Every structure is written in structure tokens, then in C-alpha cells.
Amino acid sequence: MTASCYYCGRLRSSVTDPLELLAWSVEREGVSERWLCHVCAKKHVRDIEGKLPAEYW
């Protein structure tokens, strides 16, 4: 199964630039994964950081 962006639906397999692949983000809860493409990850970085435990700050 190919990963796709949770917000925009972009397929990870459609990315040809290796640097763009490195900028994708994944959130894991139990056995489920939610991927964010590099564009959506940049747009939602505050939401992502807000979920980090306090010891990271």
C-alpha cells in the first residue's frame, strides 16, 4: 500500500525529488500511520509541534 498525505491526498510514490521525500512527516498512533507531504507538513508544523511531550521543550 502506497502512503498518501492525510490532508491533500498526494501519493508518496509520486515524489521524484529525494529532498521532498525527506520532508514528509508521519504520525503513528498504535498501528495506524498518518502521512503529511512536505507542503502540508510545513503548513501544519505548529500543530505537529503542539503534540510533542513537554520534555522536548
4, 11 contact by CB (below 8 A)? yes
Give the pTM. Answer: 0.70
Residue 1 domain flag:
no
3-state secondary structure 1-57: CCCEECCCCCEHHHCCCHHHHHCCEEEEECCEEEEECHHHHHHCHHHHHHCCCHHHC
Residue 7 domain flag:
no
Domain range spanning residue 29?
12-56
pLDDT of residue 11: 95
pLDDT of residue 44: 77
Q: Tally Cβ neighbours within 10 Å of residue 36.
A: 23
Residue 3 domain flag:
no
Residue 37 domain flag:
yes
Residue 6 domain flag:
no
Q: Between these two residues, 2 and 17, which has the higher pLDDT value?
A: 17
| Number of domains present in the structure of the chain | 1
pLDDT of residue 10: 95
